[in-house]
Amino acid sequence: MSENVEKNLWNKVRKVLPLLSMVPFLRMVAVCNNLAFGKVDEESDIDLFIIAKKGRLFFVRSVITLLLHLRGVRRHGRKISGRFCLSFFVDDSFLDLSKISIDRDFYLAYWIKSMVPIFDDGIFSLFIKKNAWVGDYFDLSVKFERKVFEDSFGGKTFCNKFYSFVFSGYVGDFLEAVLKKWQIKRALKKSKKADKDASLIVEEHILKFHNVDRREFYRNKWIGKYGFDAKLTEKKFLSL
Protein backbone atom coordinates (compact mmCIF):
# COMPACT_ATOMS: atom_id res chain seq x y z
CA MET A 1 0.00 0.00 0.00
CA SER A 2 2.73 2.49 0.98
CA GLU A 3 4.55 1.82 -2.30
CA ASN A 4 1.42 2.77 -4.27
CA VAL A 5 0.97 5.90 -2.16
CA GLU A 6 4.60 6.87 -2.72
CA LYS A 7 4.28 6.31 -6.47
CA ASN A 8 1.14 8.45 -6.62
CA LEU A 9 2.81 11.27 -4.71
CA TRP A 10 5.79 11.28 -7.06
CA ASN A 11 3.38 11.37 -10.00
CA LYS A 12 1.85 14.51 -8.51
CA VAL A 13 5.33 16.02 -8.30
CA ARG A 14 5.86 15.15 -11.95
CA LYS A 15 2.63 16.89 -12.97
CA VAL A 16 3.37 20.23 -11.26
CA LEU A 17 7.05 20.42 -12.15
CA PRO A 18 6.52 22.09 -15.57
CA LEU A 19 4.47 24.76 -13.78
CA LEU A 20 7.13 25.34 -11.14
CA SER A 21 9.86 25.57 -13.76
CA MET A 22 8.18 28.71 -15.15
CA VAL A 23 8.55 30.68 -11.90
CA PRO A 24 11.00 33.58 -12.29
CA PHE A 25 13.96 33.84 -9.93
CA LEU A 26 13.50 30.21 -8.84
CA ARG A 27 16.81 28.43 -8.35
CA MET A 28 15.93 25.10 -6.78
CA VAL A 29 13.01 22.99 -5.63
CA ALA A 30 13.60 19.79 -3.67
CA VAL A 31 11.26 17.22 -2.19
CA CYS A 32 12.06 16.66 1.48
CA ASN A 33 10.75 15.06 4.68
CA ASN A 34 8.63 11.91 4.51
CA LEU A 35 8.36 11.49 0.74
CA ALA A 36 12.12 11.87 0.39
CA PHE A 37 12.58 9.47 3.32
CA GLY A 38 10.26 6.92 1.68
CA LYS A 39 7.99 6.92 4.76
CA VAL A 40 4.51 7.85 3.56
CA ASP A 41 0.91 6.79 4.10
CA GLU A 42 -2.48 7.85 2.77
CA GLU A 43 -2.44 10.99 4.95
CA SER A 44 0.97 12.21 3.77
CA ASP A 45 1.58 15.51 2.04
CA ILE A 46 4.48 16.56 -0.20
CA ASP A 47 7.02 18.85 1.47
CA LEU A 48 9.08 21.17 -0.70
CA PHE A 49 12.27 23.06 0.10
CA ILE A 50 12.74 26.04 -2.22
CA ILE A 51 15.68 28.31 -3.01
CA ALA A 52 15.06 31.69 -4.64
CA LYS A 53 17.35 34.35 -5.97
CA LYS A 54 18.48 36.90 -3.38
CA GLY A 55 16.13 39.87 -3.38
CA ARG A 56 13.18 37.87 -4.74
CA LEU A 57 12.38 35.50 -1.88
CA PHE A 58 8.93 36.91 -1.10
CA PHE A 59 8.09 37.23 -4.79
CA VAL A 60 8.94 33.58 -5.47
CA ARG A 61 6.97 32.36 -2.47
CA SER A 62 3.92 34.37 -3.52
CA VAL A 63 4.00 33.16 -7.12
CA ILE A 64 4.46 29.48 -6.21
CA THR A 65 1.75 29.66 -3.55
CA LEU A 66 -0.67 31.25 -6.02
CA LEU A 67 0.06 28.80 -8.83
CA LEU A 68 -0.32 25.70 -6.68
CA HIS A 69 -3.41 27.10 -4.99
CA LEU A 70 -5.08 27.79 -8.35
CA ARG A 71 -4.09 24.28 -9.42
CA GLY A 72 -5.87 22.97 -6.31
CA VAL A 73 -2.83 21.14 -4.93
CA ARG A 74 -1.57 23.45 -2.17
CA ARG A 75 -1.86 22.25 1.41
CA HIS A 76 -3.96 24.53 3.59
CA GLY A 77 -6.42 24.17 6.43
CA ARG A 78 -7.61 20.57 6.61
CA LYS A 79 -6.68 19.88 3.00
CA ILE A 80 -3.44 17.99 3.62
CA SER A 81 -3.30 14.53 2.06
CA GLY A 82 -1.50 14.46 -1.27
CA ARG A 83 -1.02 18.21 -1.37
CA PHE A 84 2.11 20.37 -1.52
CA CYS A 85 3.38 21.89 1.71
CA LEU A 86 5.13 25.22 1.06
CA SER A 87 6.69 25.89 4.43
CA PHE A 88 10.42 26.37 3.84
CA PHE A 89 12.03 28.95 1.55
CA VAL A 90 15.51 30.49 1.54
CA ASP A 91 17.35 32.71 -0.92
CA ASP A 92 20.74 31.89 -2.39
CA SER A 93 22.56 33.91 0.30
CA PHE A 94 21.24 31.60 3.03
CA LEU A 95 22.41 28.15 1.96
CA ASP A 96 24.19 27.07 5.15
CA LEU A 97 21.40 25.66 7.31
CA SER A 98 23.70 25.15 10.30
CA LYS A 99 22.61 28.71 11.15
CA ILE A 100 19.21 27.36 12.21
CA SER A 101 20.30 23.98 13.58
CA ILE A 102 19.78 22.92 17.17
CA ASP A 103 22.30 21.03 19.31
CA ARG A 104 22.82 17.50 17.92
CA ASP A 105 20.40 18.13 15.07
CA PHE A 106 20.18 14.57 13.72
CA TYR A 107 16.89 15.27 11.98
CA LEU A 108 18.12 18.32 10.04
CA ALA A 109 21.27 16.45 9.02
CA TYR A 110 19.25 13.53 7.63
CA TRP A 111 16.72 15.93 6.10
CA ILE A 112 19.47 17.66 4.11
CA LYS A 113 21.18 14.42 3.14
CA SER A 114 17.98 12.85 1.83
CA MET A 115 16.32 15.73 -0.04
CA VAL A 116 15.59 15.10 -3.72
CA PRO A 117 16.05 18.04 -6.11
CA ILE A 118 13.40 18.21 -8.83
CA PHE A 119 14.36 21.62 -10.27
CA ASP A 120 17.94 22.85 -10.09
CA ASP A 121 19.74 25.56 -12.04
CA GLY A 122 23.06 24.29 -10.67
CA ILE A 123 22.88 25.65 -7.13
CA PHE A 124 22.26 22.29 -5.48
CA SER A 125 25.95 21.39 -5.61
CA LEU A 126 26.79 24.65 -3.81
CA PHE A 127 24.04 23.97 -1.28
CA ILE A 128 25.62 20.58 -0.52
CA LYS A 129 29.06 22.18 -0.11
CA LYS A 130 27.68 24.80 2.27
CA ASN A 131 26.16 22.00 4.33
CA ALA A 132 29.15 19.68 4.36
CA TRP A 133 28.89 19.79 8.16
CA VAL A 134 26.13 17.14 8.01
CA GLY A 135 28.80 14.60 7.10
CA ASP A 136 29.96 14.65 10.71
CA TYR A 137 26.66 13.05 11.70
CA PHE A 138 26.87 10.09 9.33
CA ASP A 139 28.56 6.73 9.45
CA LEU A 140 30.74 7.15 6.37
CA SER A 141 31.45 3.43 6.22
CA VAL A 142 27.82 2.86 5.22
CA LYS A 143 26.91 4.09 1.75
CA PHE A 144 23.99 6.50 1.54
CA GLU A 145 22.06 6.57 -1.74
CA ARG A 146 20.19 9.81 -2.38
CA LYS A 147 17.01 9.27 -4.39
CA VAL A 148 17.10 10.64 -7.94
CA PHE A 149 14.06 12.12 -9.65
CA GLU A 150 14.52 11.11 -13.27
CA ASP A 151 12.20 13.79 -14.64
CA SER A 152 13.89 16.68 -12.85
CA PHE A 153 14.55 19.96 -14.66
CA GLY A 154 18.25 20.69 -14.92
CA GLY A 155 18.09 24.32 -15.97
CA LYS A 156 15.98 27.39 -16.43
CA THR A 157 13.20 27.25 -19.00
CA PHE A 158 12.43 29.94 -21.55
CA CYS A 159 9.45 31.10 -19.48
CA ASN A 160 11.62 31.29 -16.37
CA LYS A 161 14.16 33.46 -18.18
CA PHE A 162 11.49 35.63 -19.82
CA TYR A 163 9.57 36.37 -16.63
CA SER A 164 12.82 36.93 -14.74
CA PHE A 165 13.62 39.66 -17.28
CA VAL A 166 10.13 41.16 -17.05
CA PHE A 167 10.18 41.32 -13.25
CA SER A 168 13.77 42.45 -12.85
CA GLY A 169 14.70 46.00 -12.01
CA TYR A 170 12.24 48.50 -10.55
CA VAL A 171 9.08 46.48 -11.18
CA GLY A 172 10.46 43.42 -9.39
CA ASP A 173 11.91 45.50 -6.57
CA PHE A 174 8.56 47.19 -5.99
CA LEU A 175 6.62 43.91 -5.95
CA GLU A 176 9.19 42.30 -3.64
CA ALA A 177 8.90 45.18 -1.18
CA VAL A 178 5.10 45.06 -1.17
CA LEU A 179 4.94 41.27 -0.82
CA LYS A 180 7.61 41.30 1.88
CA LYS A 181 5.69 43.81 3.99
CA TRP A 182 2.43 41.90 3.54
CA GLN A 183 3.87 38.47 4.31
CA ILE A 184 5.79 39.62 7.37
CA LYS A 185 2.64 41.24 8.74
CA ARG A 186 0.66 38.02 8.25
CA ALA A 187 3.48 35.91 9.73
CA LEU A 188 3.64 38.02 12.88
CA LYS A 189 -0.09 37.49 13.43
CA LYS A 190 0.35 33.77 12.90
CA SER A 191 3.31 33.57 15.28
CA LYS A 192 1.20 34.97 18.13
CA LYS A 193 -1.20 32.04 17.76
CA ALA A 194 1.49 29.41 17.20
CA ASP A 195 2.02 26.53 19.59
CA LYS A 196 5.20 26.38 21.66
CA ASP A 197 6.44 23.50 19.48
CA ALA A 198 6.24 25.57 16.30
CA SER A 199 9.25 26.84 14.38
CA LEU A 200 8.47 30.08 12.57
CA ILE A 201 11.26 32.13 11.02
CA VAL A 202 10.40 35.14 8.90
CA GLU A 203 13.47 37.09 7.89
CA GLU A 204 14.85 38.76 4.78
CA HIS A 205 16.60 35.61 3.57
CA ILE A 206 14.58 32.75 5.08
CA LEU A 207 10.92 31.85 5.49
CA LYS A 208 10.20 28.81 7.62
CA PHE A 209 6.69 27.90 8.75
CA HIS A 210 6.59 24.63 10.67
CA ASN A 211 3.64 24.32 13.03
CA VAL A 212 5.39 21.41 14.71
CA ASP A 213 9.19 21.29 14.89
CA ARG A 214 10.07 17.59 15.27
CA ARG A 215 13.82 18.02 15.67
CA GLU A 216 14.01 17.82 19.46
CA PHE A 217 11.66 14.85 19.45
CA TYR A 218 13.85 12.95 16.98
CA ARG A 219 17.04 13.98 18.76
CA ASN A 220 15.79 12.63 22.08
CA LYS A 221 14.45 9.49 20.45
CA TRP A 222 17.77 8.92 18.64
CA ILE A 223 19.87 9.43 21.75
CA GLY A 224 17.57 7.22 23.79
CA LYS A 225 17.85 4.39 21.26
CA TYR A 226 21.40 4.69 19.93
CA GLY A 227 23.30 7.01 22.24
CA PHE A 228 24.61 10.56 22.06
CA ASP A 229 27.58 9.86 19.79
CA ALA A 230 26.01 7.29 17.45
CA LYS A 231 26.45 7.96 13.73
CA LEU A 232 23.52 8.18 11.35
CA THR A 233 22.68 5.53 8.81
CA GLU A 234 19.56 5.33 6.71
CA LYS A 235 18.47 2.10 8.36
CA LYS A 236 18.86 3.44 11.89
CA PHE A 237 17.12 6.73 11.21
CA LEU A 238 14.15 5.16 9.47
CA SER A 239 13.72 2.75 12.37
CA LEU A 240 12.89 5.59 14.75
Residue 191 reports pLDDT greater than 80: no
Helix or strand (DSSP H, E) at 109: helix 106-114
Q: What would the mean pLDDT of 183-189 be, rounded to a whole number?
A: 84
pTM above 0.75, yes or no: yes
Give mean pLDDT, residues 141-145.
92
pLDDT confidence of 197, banded at 50, 70, 90? low
Q: Please give the average per-residue pLDDT across 104-109, as a whole number.
A: 96
Provide the pLDDT confidence category of residue 56 given band limits of 50, 70 and 90.
very high
DSSP characters over 15-65: HHHHHHTT-TTEEEEEEEHHHHHT---TT--EEEEEEE-TT-HHHHHHHHH
Average pLDDT, the chain: 92
- C-alpha atoms less than 13 angstroms from C-alpha of 40 in its C-beta half-sphere: 27
Q: What pLDDT score was predicted for residue 156?
A: 74
Q: What percent of the chain has pLDDT over 90?
A: 78
- The H or E element containing residue 89 is strand 84-91
Q: What is the mean pLDDT of residues 121-140?
A: 96
Mean pLDDT, range 60-66, rounded to an integer: 96
For the chain, first and last CA: distance in Å? 20
Report CA-CA distances (Å) from 189 to 72, 83, 213.
25, 24, 19
For the stretch 19-34, pLDDT in tens is 999 999 999 999 999 9
Please compute the mean of the pLDDT values over residues 125-140 and round it to a whole number.
Answer: 97
